[in-house]
């Protein structure tokens, strides 16, 4: 089959707008991360593993339940590490909503992040997530999550 490549002088591409699900938008994930740090993290800091676990847990009510009972069952779930969460963390650091401490390997809320947290908490958004995170409180520390992870996946 011969292609008429010699006859083609120019190729044009037109960008078309494509709707993106809210869950895939960085600001949605940034807002979830802020809530996790504000309501369920000691000193408003969290490791990437904890954020990935909570991101997984906030996807649906079955996962809420599994995450809520993690302290009892000690059965670390198989989770998918979400690249969209990593991208949101990068944007959040660039927006100065989070800071990253290289020594501890944890993300922290900045003053700007705490202001956003108060607005999110006052707003009529993330209702289910707020209730869940207020219920689970700070019972799952980074240290405990890492310990369970290492037990489940020894190196």
Q: What is the pTM of this model?
A: 0.85
Report pLDDT digits (tens) over 57-105: 999 999 999 999 999 999 999 998 999 999 999 999 999 999 999 999 9
Nearest residue to 138 (alpha-carbon basis) of 18, 50, 30: 50
Domain boundaries, the chain: 23-152
Q: Residue 115: CB partners within 8 Å, gap ≥ 6?
A: none
Quick check: 32 and 125 in contact, CB under 8 A? no
């Amino acid at each position: 089959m011969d292609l008429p490549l010699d006859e083609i002088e120019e190729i044009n591409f037109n960008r078309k707008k494509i709707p993106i699900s809210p869950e895939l938008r960085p600001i949605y994930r940034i807002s979830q991360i802020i809530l996790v740090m504000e309501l369920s993290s000691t000193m408003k800091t969290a490791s990437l593993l904890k954020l990935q676990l909570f991101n997984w847990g906030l996807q649906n009510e079955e996962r809420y339940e599994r995450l809520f009972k993690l302290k009892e069952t000690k059965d670390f779930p198989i989770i998918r590490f979400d690249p969209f969460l990593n991208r949101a963390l990068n944007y959040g650091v660039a927006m100065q909503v989070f800071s990253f401490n290289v020594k501890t390997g944890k993300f922290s809320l900045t003053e700007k992040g705490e202001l956003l947290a108060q607005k999110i908490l006052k707003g009529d958004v993330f209702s289910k997530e707020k209730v869940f995170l207020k219920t689970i409180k700070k019972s799952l520390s980074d240290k405990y999550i890492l310990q369970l992870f290492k037990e489940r996946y020894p190196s």
